[in-house]
C-alpha cells in the first residue's frame, strides 16, 4: 500500500516550483502560492505529489533519473519520453491521470494529473464490492486491448515471461506449474495471431483507482529497452498472479473471482488454465532516497 510522507515546501523562486506553476497555467490561480511536497513510497522511482497551497490542486511528478527499484540499467531520457508518448496515445481510450509535461533538466521528470480515489487494494482487503470492481477493471482492459494494436512476436513474449519467473524465486512446485501453463500457451492456436495489443504491464492492485464512477489506470508504461507490447495473454497472466493468488484460505473464492474476471475480459476466448493457490509476488520496489524539494 502506497503511503505519503511530507518532505518539504517549495517557495516562489524555486526553479522546479516555478516551472510546475507555469505548466498548470490558469489552474494555478495564485502564482505566488507555496507548494507542499509529499514523497510517495514505495515506488519504482522517486515519485512525489505536489500540492498547491490553498488551491485544492495537486499533481504527480515521477523522476526517471532517480530509480529506487531493482531495474536501473536503462536510459532515463528514453524512458521518460516513452511513457509520456504512451500516456498521450491511450488518454482518449481509457481513463488515466493525464500527462501534463516532461522536463529532462529536472532529473527526467514526468508530470501528470493527480487522481484521488479508492484503490482496488482497499476493496481486496475488505472484500466488499470486489466483484463489481473486478468486472469494471476487466471492461477497461478489454477496451484497451480492442482499440490498440502492436507488433507481436511469441518468442520475445515467452522469453520475457521466463525472465520474470527466474527473478521472483518460486519454489520448485510452483515453477513447474507455471512452466506447464506456459507450455500450454506455447502450443495453443489462440496465440497464432499476426499482431498483439497494448497491455498494462504492472498488475498492482494499487494501480487501479475508483473515483466518481470511473476506473483510472495508473502505472501504464512502456518498458525500457526492447519494445514489449504483447498479446492478450500477457495481461491475463499478470492479473492472475497479482489479483487472485492471494492465499490458500481463500482459494475457492479467488478462483470464482478469477473466472468472472476473465469472462468479462475475454469472453469465449480465454481458457482458464491457471489454478494454483500460492501467492506470487512479482515486484517489490525499494524506497525512494531523494526527492525534489
State the pLDDT confidence band at 161, using cuts at 50, 70 and 90.
confident
What is the average pLDDT across 77-90?
92
Residue that wins the pLDDT comparison between 114 and 258:
114
In a domain, 31, yes or no: yes
In a domain, 288, yes or no: no
Regarding whether 80 and 31 lie in a shared domain, the answer is yes
In a domain, 3, yes or no: no
In a domain, 166, yes or no: yes
> Helix, strand, or coil here: 205?
helix
In a domain, 281, yes or no: no
Regarding whether 34 and 94 lie in a shared domain, the answer is yes
C-alpha closest to that of 140 among 214, 242, 240: 214
pLDDT of residue 21: 96
How far is residue 62's CA from residue 107's CA, in Å, rounded to a whole number?
A: 9
How far is residue 210's CA from residue 119's CA, in Å, rounded to a whole number?
A: 6
Regarding whether 235 and 140 lie in a shared domain, the answer is yes
Regarding whether 229 and 148 lie in a shared domain, the answer is yes
- H/E stretch holding 87 reads helix 76-90
Regarding whether 183 and 90 lie in a shared domain, the answer is no
Regarding whether 122 and 93 lie in a shared domain, the answer is no
Per the listing, cell 472484500 goes with 127
pLDDT of residue 95: 95
pLDDT of residue 206: 84
Boundary-marking domain end, from 63, 93, 113: 113
Regarding whether 251 and 176 lie in a shared domain, the answer is yes
C-alpha closest to that of 187 among 271, 101, 283: 271
In a domain, 279, yes or no: no
| CATH number of 241's domain | 3.90.1200
How far is residue 176's CA from residue 182's CA, in Å, rounded to a whole number?
A: 10
> Over the stretch 169-186, which tens digit does the pLDDT of each residue have?
888 998 999 899 888 888
pLDDT of residue 233: 40
pLDDT of residue 255: 55
Q: Mean pLDDT in the chain?
A: 77
- C-alpha cell of residue 22: 507555469
How far is residue 179's CA from residue 162's CA, in Å, rounded to a whole number?
A: 8
CB within 8 Å of 71: residues ≥ 6 apart:
44, 224
The Cα-based distances of 165 to 47, 79, 133, 168, 208 in angstroms read 27, 24, 28, 6, 24
Boundary-marking domain end, from 83, 113, 143: 113
In a domain, 282, yes or no: no
Regarding whether 66 and 91 lie in a shared domain, the answer is yes
In this model, does residue 200 exceed pLDDT 70?
yes
Regarding whether 108 and 123 lie in a shared domain, the answer is no
> Over the stretch 221-243, which tens digit does the pLDDT of each residue have?
653 333 333 334 444 444 444 44
Backbone angles phi, psi at 151, to 5 degrees: -65, 140
Task: Give the dihedral sign, CA 214/215/219/222.
Answer: negative
In a domain, 9, yes or no: no
Regarding whether 139 and 47 lie in a shared domain, the answer is no
How far is residue 141's CA from residue 135's CA, in Å, rounded to a whole number?
A: 10
Instruction: Find out whether 280 and 290 touch, Cβ atoms under 8 Å.
Output: no
**Does pTM top 0.85 for this prediction?**
no
| CATH number of 83's domain | 3.30.200
- Domain span including residue 129: 118-265
Boundary-marking domain end, from 51, 78, 113: 113
> Over the stretch 127-142, which tens digit does the pLDDT of each residue have?
677 888 888 998 998 8
Number of structural domains the chain divides into: 2
Pairing of strands 208-211, 118-119: antiparallel
Regarding whether 53 and 160 lie in a shared domain, the answer is no
How far is residue 9's CA from residue 293's CA, in Å, rounded to a whole number?
A: 7
How far is residue 237's CA from residue 179's CA, in Å, rounded to a whole number?
A: 12
Regarding whether 258 and 172 lie in a shared domain, the answer is yes
The Cα-based distances of 160 to 165, 166, 257 in angstroms read 9, 10, 26
In this model, does residue 78 exceed pLDDT 90?
yes
Amino acid at each position: 500500500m502506497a503511503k505519503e510522507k511530507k518532505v518539504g515546501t517549495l517557495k516562489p523562486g524555486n526553479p522546479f516550483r516555478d516551472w510546475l506553476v507555469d505548466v498548470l497555467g490558469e489552474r494555478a490561480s495564485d502564482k505566488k502560492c507555496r507548494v507542499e511536497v509529499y514523497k510517495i513510497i514505495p515506488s519504482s522511482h522517486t515519485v512525489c505529489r505536489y500540492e498547491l497551497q490553498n488551491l485544492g490542486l495537486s499533481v504527480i511528478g515521477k523522476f526517471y533519473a532517480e530509480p529506487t527499484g531493482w531495474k536501473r540499467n536503462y536510459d532515463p531520457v528514453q524512458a521518460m519520453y516513452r511513457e509520456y508518448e504512451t500516456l498521450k496515445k491511450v488518454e482518449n481510450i481509457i481513463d488515466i491521470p493525464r500527462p501534463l509535461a516532461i522536463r529532462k533538466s529536472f532529473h527526467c521528470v514526468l508530470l501528470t494529473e493527480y487522481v484521488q480515489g479508492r484503490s482496488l487494494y482497499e476493496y481486496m482487503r475488505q472484500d466488499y464490492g470486489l466483484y463489481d470492481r473486478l468486472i469494471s477493471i476487466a471492461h477497461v482492459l478489454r477496451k484497451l486491448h480492442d482499440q490498440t494494436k502492436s507488433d507481436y512476436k511469441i518468442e520475445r513474449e515467452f522469453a520475457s515471461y521466463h525472465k520474470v519467473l527466474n527473478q521472483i524465486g518460486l519454489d520448485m512446485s510452483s515453477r513447474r506449474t507455471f512452466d506447464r501453463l506456459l507450455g500450454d500457451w506455447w502450443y495453443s492456436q489462440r496465440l497464432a495471431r499476426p499482431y498483439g495489443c497494448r497491455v498494462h504491464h504492472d498488475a498492482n492492485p494499487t494501480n487501479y483507482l475508483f473515483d466518481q464512477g470511473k476506473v483510472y489506470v495508473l502505472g501504464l508504461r512502456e518498458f525500457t529497452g526492447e519494445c514489449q507490447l504483447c498479446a492478450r495473454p500477457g495481461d491475463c497472466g499478470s492479473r492472475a498472479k497479482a489479483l487472485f493468488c492471494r492465499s490458500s484460505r481463500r482459494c475457492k473464492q479467488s478462483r470464482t473471482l478469477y473466472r468472472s474476471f476473465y469472462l468479462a475480459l475475454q469472453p469465449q476466448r480465454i481458457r482458464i488454465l491457471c489454478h494454483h493457490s500460492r501467492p506470487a509476488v512479482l515486484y517489490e520496489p525499494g524506497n525512494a532516497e531523494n526527492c525534489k524539494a
